[in-house]
């Protein structure tokens, strides 16, 4: 099969443990692979070069703007944007090949596909984590990273978007501890986001949003079918929402303790 006319673009910082898997999943069938590194101190550069990828060093400008700068480095008409902890499954590779074989492919500005997470002992197939439809393939001239400056960046396209069935594989949490460790950083980004929007703390949201997130993920989206990991994810998602709103309250009300008299 001739290489597909797309640039695989990976933005990474100290991802030497994840890059080999990600790079292996796109080797041999894509026209170009670009790894954009940010303040990296591990072996990521040598790993990427050994896999035949072009390596660039970019200053960090936030998720949205850094990813746009990385996408601009490619030379192919289409961009496949990946994170270092992701990999293209064989099924998604087949879907992509079929998409590029279509006579009408250029009428689409991009394509989305499901993303599934490996967590503890299984692929998570329900709840808030799946199908997690991700728009990651887009025409360079008709798509760009948009959304919030700090978090929840997303690809926005000028035109129709196709839907593919193969899964993008996500190895985001090698351990439960790794998941817990991300709650605080995401809460900090949430506070930055809310401040940028001039939003204020809301007690009803802080109380009700966690309950809703648990009920939606575990019951409405069938998270209970994923066994104990599904229960943990629903509880952790609810707790993460509680922490985010609590951090917002703290940012608006925190004071230094009075000096004892």
Q: What is the pLDDT of residues 94-146, one digit of tens each?
A: 999 999 999 999 999 999 999 999 999 999 999 999 999 999 999 999 999 99
Distance CA 52, CA 215 (A): 46
pLDDT beyond 80 at 222:
yes
pLDDT tens track for 54-104? 999 999 998 899 999 999 999 999 999 999 999 999 999 999 999 999 999
Burial class of 28 by CB neighbour count within 10 A (0 to 12, 13 to 18, 19+)? exposed
Phi, psi of 223 (to 5 degrees): -60, -25
Do 185 and 145 lie in one domain? The reply is: no
pLDDT at 254 over 70: yes
Whichever domain contains 113, its CATH number is 3.90.550.10
Q: In the predicted model, what is the mean pLDDT of residues 150-159?
A: 86
The mean per-residue pLDDT over the stretch 188-208 comes to 92
The pLDDT score that the predictor gives to residue 2 is 87
Of 138, 170, 202, the one marking the end of a domain is 170
pLDDT at 208: 97
pLDDT for res 193: 87
Residues 120 and 220 in one domain: no
| C-alpha dist (Å) from residue 15 to 24, 27, 43, 100, 117 | 14, 18, 8, 30, 18
Q: What is the mean pLDDT of residues 192-215?
A: 93
Note the pLDDT tens digit of each residue in 6-17: 999 999 999 999
CA dist list (Å): 182 to 7, 24, 173: 29, 27, 9
What tokens does 253 get?
Answer: 């009300």
How many domains, the chain?
Answer: 2
Question: In this model, does residue 152 exceed pLDDT 90?
Answer: no
pLDDT of residue 258: 86
- In this structure, the answer to whether residues 107 and 203 fall within a common structural domain is no
Residue 238 domain flag: yes
Containing domain of residue 124, as a range? 4-170
**Domain-embedded: residue 197:** yes
Is the same domain home to 129 and 207? no
Q: Do residues 237 and 163 both lie within one domain?
A: no
Do residues 13 and 27 both lie within one domain? Answer: yes
Residue 161 has pLDDT above 80, yes or no: yes
Q: Model pTM?
A: 0.90
| Helix/strand/coil for 83 | strand
Domain-terminating residue out of 170, 190, 225: 170
Report in angstroms the alpha-carbon separations of 232 from 30, 34, 119, 123, 218.
37, 36, 10, 14, 9
Q: Give pLDDT, residue 151.
A: 67
Show which of 141, 170, 199 is a domain's final residue: 170
Q: What is the pLDDT of residue 260?
A: 74
Domain check: are 79 and 207 in the same one? no
Same domain, 166 and 180: no
pLDDT of the residue at 202: 93
Q: pLDDT higher for 47 or 198?
A: 47
Q: Report yes or no on 259 lying in a domain.
A: no
Tell me whether residue 39 is in a domain: yes
């Amino acid at each position: 099969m001739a290489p597909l006319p797309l640039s695989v673009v990976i933005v990474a910082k100290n991802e030497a443990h994840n890059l080999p898997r990600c790079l292996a999943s796109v080797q041999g069938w894509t026209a170009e692979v670009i790894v954009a590194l940010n303040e990296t101190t591990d072996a990521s550069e040598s790993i990427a070069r050994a896999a035949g990828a072009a390596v660039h060093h970019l200053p960090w400008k936030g998720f949205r703007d850094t990813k746009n700068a990385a996408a601009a480095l490619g030379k192919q008409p289409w961009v496949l944007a990946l994170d270092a902890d992701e990999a293209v499954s064989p099924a998604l590779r087949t879907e992509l090949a079929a998409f590029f074989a279509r006579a009408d492919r250029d009428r689409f500005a991009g394509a989305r596909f499901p993303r599934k997470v490996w967590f503890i002992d299984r692929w998570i197939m329900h709840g808030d984590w799946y199908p997690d439809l991700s728009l990651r393939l887009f025409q360079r001239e008709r798509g760009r990273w948009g959304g919030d400056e700090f978090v929840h960046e997303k690809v926005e396209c000028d035109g129709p978007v196709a839907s593919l069935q193969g899964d993008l594989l996500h190895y985001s949490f090698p351990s439960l501890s790794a998941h817990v460790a991300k709650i605080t950083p995401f809460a900090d980004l949430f506070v930055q986001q809310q401040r940028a929007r001039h939003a204020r703390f809301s007690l009803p949201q802080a109380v009700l949003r966690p309950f809703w997130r648990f009920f939606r993920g575990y019951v409405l989206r069938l998270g209970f079918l994923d066994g104990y990991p599904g229960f943990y994810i629903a509880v952790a998602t609810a707790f993460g929402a509680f922490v985010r709103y609590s951090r917002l309250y703290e940012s608006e009300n925190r004071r230094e303790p009075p000096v004892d008299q």
